[in-house]
């Protein structure tokens, strides 16, 4: 009987010790999370810009307007073209309220309403082979949108990554989220068919986070758009 009672007390002691250890572990994890939440998040943003104004006079965009046409993209990211145009246009309207900007849906609607869908399609089919948009079609698009300048975005690539920085007691605490984006913008003169302005950007953004959410495509495009639009005359 004495031995049985001793074993029971030993088991109880082991159980209490396990409970205290678990409670301590949870408390330490909670403390670490609170400390990390209170600390400023380390963010890094690296941007490489290249812009060339070939035939775009100061105030030209303000006086003549600009319309967005269908973007192009690398293979595998064709579905991002609409989101790209939408995010970029929103930023441009916010940063440059002095400009009359025709969004991509408005441009496509005007083209279809004017019966120019066939010409528009042919212009884009020829572009990968020549790197040139047909002047005649540009003039027609410019006329139906009432915007002299036509903007085309090109998505050169987008990549998201997530790496664990460190954890405690086997629990992942901090992750480094990163995204890289290559984006180009060409502005065509709808009157003479010339490239009036072009710019390109390579953007890499990274930050440490306690959460699972990656840096979104929209966020990366908005960051790139702010930088590119800042170089417009």
Say how many domains are in the chain.
2
Contact 221, 181 (CB under 8 A): yes
Say whether both 35 and 52 belong to one domain: no
pLDDT of residue 208: 60
What count of other Cβ atoms lies within 10 Å of the Cβ of residue 67? Answer: 24
Say whether both 181 and 111 belong to one domain: yes
Residue 178 in 3-state DSSP?
A: strand
Say whether both 63 and 142 belong to one domain: yes
Say whether both 8 and 101 belong to one domain: no
Say whether both 69 and 9 belong to one domain: no
Say whether both 113 and 56 belong to one domain: yes
List all residues 6 or more positions away from 112 whose beta carbon is below 8 Å from its beta carbon: none
Say whether both 92 and 184 belong to one domain: yes
Say whether both 211 and 133 belong to one domain: yes
Partnered with residue 101 across adjacent β-strands are 66
Say whether both 93 and 193 belong to one domain: yes
Write out the residue range of the structural domain in which residue 32 sits.
1-39
pLDDT of residue 165: 58
Give the tens place of pLDDT for each residue, 79-97.
889 999 999 999 999 999 9
Residues of the chain with pLDDT under 50: 1-2, 4-7, 24, 31, 34-40
Give the tens place of pLDDT for each residue, 26-46.
555 554 554 444 444 555 555
Please report, for the domain that includes residue 213, its CATH number: 3.40.50
Quick one: DSSP state of residue 58?
T
What does the alpha-carbon distance between residue 168 and residue 133 come to, in Å, rounded to a whole number? 57
pLDDT of residue 2: 46
Long-range CB contacts for residues 225-229, cutoff 8 Å, separation at least 24? 225/87, 225/88, 225/91, 225/92, 225/95, 226/91, 226/95, 227/47, 227/49, 227/201, 227/203, 228/49, 228/51, 228/183, 228/185, 228/199, 228/201, 229/91, 229/92, 229/95, 229/96
pLDDT of residue 201: 87
Contact 181, 224 (CB under 8 A): yes
Say whether both 62 and 172 belong to one domain: yes
What predicted TM-score, i.e. pTM, was given to this entire model? Answer: 0.72
Residue 116, token pair as written in the block: 């120019």
Say whether both 109 and 224 belong to one domain: yes
Backbone phi, psi, residue 70, to 5°: -60, 130
Helix ranges restricted to H, 96-177: 104-113, 117-130, 135-145
């Amino acid at each position: 009987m004495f031995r049985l009672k001793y074993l029971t007390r030993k088991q109880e002691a082991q159980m209490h010790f396990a409970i205290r250890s678990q409670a301590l572990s949870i408390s330490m994890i909670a403390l670490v999370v609170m400390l990390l939440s209170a600390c400023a998040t380390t963010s890094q943003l690296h941007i490489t810009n290249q812009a060339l104004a070939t035939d775009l006079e100061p105030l030209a965009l303000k006086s003549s307007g600009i319309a967005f046409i269908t973007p192009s993209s690398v293979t595998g990211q064709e579905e991002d073209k609409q989101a790209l145009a939408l995010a970029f246009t929103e930023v441009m309207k916010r940063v440059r309220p002095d400009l009359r900007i025709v969004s991509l849906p408005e441009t496509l609607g005007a083209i279809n309403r004017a019966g120019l869908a066939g010409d528009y399609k042919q212009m884009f089919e020829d572009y990968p082979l020549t790197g040139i948009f047909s002047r005649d079609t540009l003039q027609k698009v410019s006329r139906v949108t009432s915007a002299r300048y036509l903007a085309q975005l090109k998505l050169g690539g987008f990549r998201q990554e997530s790496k664990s920085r460190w954890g405690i007691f086997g629990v992942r605490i901090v992750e480094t989220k990163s995204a890289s984006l290559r984006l180009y913008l060409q502005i065509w003169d709808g009157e003479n068919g010339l490239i009036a302005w072009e710019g390109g950007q390579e953007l890499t953004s990274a930050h440490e986070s306690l959460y699972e959410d990656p840096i979104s495509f929209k966020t990366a495009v908005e960051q790139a758009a702010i930088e590119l639009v800042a170089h417009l005359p």
